């Protein structure tokens, strides 16, 4: 078996094992949340019989081990369950149910929100990755110059600031003092691409400021580390321009750490957008996660956590594979 294929298979098996362990942690953590959904929906004046009836209807009266394996089996078939908040409890709360209304599955509730989050992550990546690579290459090319110091100060300032602080600063300057962009990201399914981009641009700029610093500094450090290599010195002695030395000779050999940090930041754009989505009231999966935690909607919370973990593990696996493929010694074994 080819060494690259063997390593990729090992990484995939390790990723599946990690996801299994993470699913156990997610289930235990979510079920350890304080409060009870049945009590929350019925109120403090609910009778114990009504609370027990809802818990029995939702399966919350079963042992934790039984509920975990039932959830795991359903998850493997693509069934994420039914949202507690959208279930019909009319008979318990004393109201009449609407005719024809049925329970809303978690997949139906999450799909549009996940699409919105992926759109936000995609817009941010399109802006952040080229900007980070360009700034990192220029900072390495003009090392210890005023440009290099200015870029590093900007990077350290942005990476040291909380997301909500950067979000409010951008809202102040781009939505309040200069009303160029909307302060709230009202996204609808029938919006055109231009309107959607305009509504998404402010949270995307906030996330760009957050992730650009790490990618830029890693690009700069990786290239500077290679500039002292013998083959770089040989390229310089041949009279090759500094820009070509970095872009043609240094950058391809610095891809492994750069790919890793880009993958980690792309994972953050999916898993770490909760604060930004809450600030801008962006209808993504992060906002849905916060709302579901508030009302103890366990199936939705578990599904959101599982999506976050899967995205993080998948992007880390992708970074490992791309780093391996960027290594000529593994691609062309003797």
How many Cα atoms within 13 Å fall on the side-chain side of residue 165?
Answer: 7
Q: Whose structure tokens read 């235990």?
A: 28
Q: Is residue 6 part of a domain?
A: yes
How many CB atoms are closer than 10 A to CB 248? 12
pLDDT of residue 186: 83
Domain CATH for 238: 1.10.3720.10
pLDDT 10s digits, 300-331: 888 998 888 888 888 888 888 787 777 666 56
> Would 36 be classed as within a structural domain?
yes
Does 109 fall in a domain? no
Backbone angles phi, psi at 294, to 5 degrees: -60, -40
Q: How many domains does the chain have?
A: 2
In a shared domain, residues 222 and 321 = no
- 228 lies in the same domain as 303: no
Residue 331 lies in a domain: yes
Please tell me whether residues 134 and 181 are part of one structural domain.
yes
DSSP annotation of 97:
P
**pTM, two decimal places:** 0.82
Same domain membership, residue 7 and residue 152: no
Q: Which residue segment(s) compose the domain that 43 sits in?
A: 1-94+297-334
pLDDT of res. 90: 47
Q: Is there a single domain that holds both residue 124 and residue 260?
A: yes
The answer on 251 and 141 residing in a single domain is yes
Summarised one tens digit per residue, pLDDT across range 226-285 is 877 888 888 888 888 877 887 787 777 777 788 888 888 888 888 778 888 889 989 989
pLDDT at site 234: 85
155 domain-assigned: yes
Question: pLDDT digit string (tens) for 25-73?
Answer: 988 888 787 766 676 666 666 677 777 887 787 777 788 888 888 888 8
Query: Do 235 and 147 lie in a common domain?
Result: yes
Q: Taking Cα atoms as reference points, which of 316, 302, 313 lies closest to residue 72?
A: 302
Shared domain for 125 and 211, answered yes or no, is yes
Whether residue 246 is found in the same domain as residue 156:
yes
Same domain, 236 and 249: yes
Is the C-alpha dihedral spanning 151, 153, 159, 163 positive or negative? negative
- Pair (149, 287) in one structural domain: yes
Q: Does one domain contain both 39 and 154? A: no
Among 322, 141, 142, which Cα is nearest to 247's?
141
> What is the rounded average pLDDT of the residues 129-147?
88
Check whether 81 has a pLDDT greater than 90: no
Task: Answer whether residue 106 is part of any domain.
Answer: no
């Amino acid at each position: 078996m080819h060494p690259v294929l063997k390593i990729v298979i090992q990484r995939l098996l390790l990723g599946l094992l990690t996801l299994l362990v993470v699913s156990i942690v997610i289930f235990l953590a979510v079920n350890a949340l304080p409060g009870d959904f049945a009590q929350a929906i019925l109120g403090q004046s609910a009778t114990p019989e009504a609370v027990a009836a809802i818990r029995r209807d939702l399966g919350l009266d079963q042992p934790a081990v039984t509920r975990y394996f039932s959830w795991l089996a359903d998850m493997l078939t693509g069934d994420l369950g039914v949202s507690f908040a959208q279930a019909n409890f009319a008979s318990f709360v004393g109201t009449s149910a609407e005719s024809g209304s049925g329970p809303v599955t978690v997949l139906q509730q999450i799909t549009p929100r996940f699409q919105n989050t992926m759109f936000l992550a995609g817009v941010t990546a399109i802006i952040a990755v080229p900007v980070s690579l360009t700034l990192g290459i220029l900072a390495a090319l003009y090392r210890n110059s005023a440009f290099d110091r200015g870029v590093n100060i900007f990077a350290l300032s942005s990476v040291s600031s909380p997301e909500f602080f950067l979000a409010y600063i951008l809202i102040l300057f781009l939505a309040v003092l200069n009303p160029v962009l909307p302060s709230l990201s009202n996204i609808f399914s029938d919006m055109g691409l231009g309107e959607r981009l305009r509504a998404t641009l402010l949270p995307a700029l906030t996330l760009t400021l957050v992730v650009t610093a790490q990618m830029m500094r890693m690009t700069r450090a990786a290239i500077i580390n290679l500039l002292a290599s013998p083959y770089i010195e040989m390229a310089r002695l041949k009279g090759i321009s500094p820009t070509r030395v970095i872009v043609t000779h240094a950058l391809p050999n610095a891809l492994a750490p750069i790919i890793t940090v880009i993958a980690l930041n792309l994972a953050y754009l999916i898993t770490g957008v909760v604060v930004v989505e809450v600030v801008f009231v962006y209808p993504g999966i992060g906002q849905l996660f916060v709302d579901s935690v508030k009302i103890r909607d366990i199936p939705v919370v578990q599904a959101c956590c599982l999506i976050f973990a899967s995205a993080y593990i998948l992007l880390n696996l992708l970074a490992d594979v791309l780093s391996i493929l960027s290594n000529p010694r593994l691609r062309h074994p003797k």
